[in-house]
Copies of this chain bind each other. A is one copy, B any other.
Amino acid sequence: MDKAALFAQIKKKSSYLCVGLDTDVNKIPKHLHRAKDPIFEFNKQIIEATADYCVAYKPNIAFYEALGPTGWESLEKTVDYIPKEHFTIADAKRGDIGNTSKLYARAFFETMDFDSITVAPYMGEDSVTPFLEFDGKWVILLAHTSNPGSQDFQLITNRDTGKPLYEEVIKKSQSWASPEQLMFVVGATRADKIGHIRSFAPDNFFLVPGVGAQGGDLQAVSREGMNAKCGLLVNNTRGIIYASDAEDFAEAAGRQAKKMQEEMSGYLDKFLP
């Protein structure tokens, strides 16, 4: 999916919501345990209930990997089930030497048909570029994450430039790919930082985790981060997929997704230039 198609979806739905599919067999409603593939059954019903209100889905690969081969089968079925107009994100945080990154790219872009993958930048250019060799596929590079540990290394100031590491990552990686193929993970927990990052990454989409359970403020994120093509995919996981742990879980998820979509619709009216 290219950037124009993604923006067209955002306008059509008045939404830049991404629903995280961190599907945990210990958290899904008990009655689903009778299904042949409880993880897929949960995802299927969540997707049906939320598809009208979001533009992207982000399965967190760890949740599937922890289950072994059957987890990968549930993941493959889930990716196939997501409607084609939705942008799909393999939240995998991979990154390795060139020949190895190439295989991860094959796993998520060929064996499965994800539109994008999250990648960790620590190993540098040759760990990232193999993912960029696939037409119409995206890298979403970790820049400033939303977890407490983001303080440990991402804020280290480069003696030579006076800039923090996350800024070096964004600036250097902009020479590896255009905003047509490169997004950044920018946590929502500090909205002022999103505005700062927007100043030197004007055209890239940001994938923004941390709204909801982690305390990020959707209005501030939208005000600081929105560009002429929206430029934001705001993720919510727990607030949506675990809105209820009873038989009405899918309806509850749909209601929460609709609520976020309505809020986003207002911000699109207000902040989209």
Contacts and interface: CB of A to CB of B under 8 A. Distances in A.
A114 to B, nearest CB: 13
Report the copy number of this chain in the oligomer.
Answer: 2
Contacts of A62: 94, 96, 100-101, 103-104, 107
Nearest to A128: B149
A27 to B, nearest CB: 11
28 contacts: A22-B100, A62-B94, A62-B96, A62-B103, A62-B107, A63-B100, A63-B103, A65-B104, A68-B76, A68-B107, A93-B96, A95-B120, A97-B145, A121-B122, A121-B152, A122-B145, A124-B148, A124-B149, A124-B150, A124-B154, A125-B148, A126-B147, A127-B147, A153-B168, A156-B160, A157-B158, A157-B160, A159-B159
Contacts of A168: 153, 156
For the complex of A and B, 10 pairs with smallest distance between CB atoms: A124-B149, A124-B152, A62-B103, A159-B159, A69-B69, A157-B159, A66-B103, A97-B147, A126-B149, A66-B107
A142 interface: yes
Contacts of A153: 121-122, 124, 165, 168-169, 172
A36 to B, nearest CB: 15
Interface of A: 22, 60, 62-63, 65-70, 72-73, 76, 91, 93-101, 103-104, 106-107, 111-112, 120-128, 142, 145-154, 156-160, 162, 165, 168-169, 172
Contacts of A158: 156-159
Given A97-B147, A100-B62, A147-B124, A172 B152 contact: yes
Contacts of A172: 152-153
Most buried by B among A70, A96, A148: A96
A156 to B, nearest CB: 5
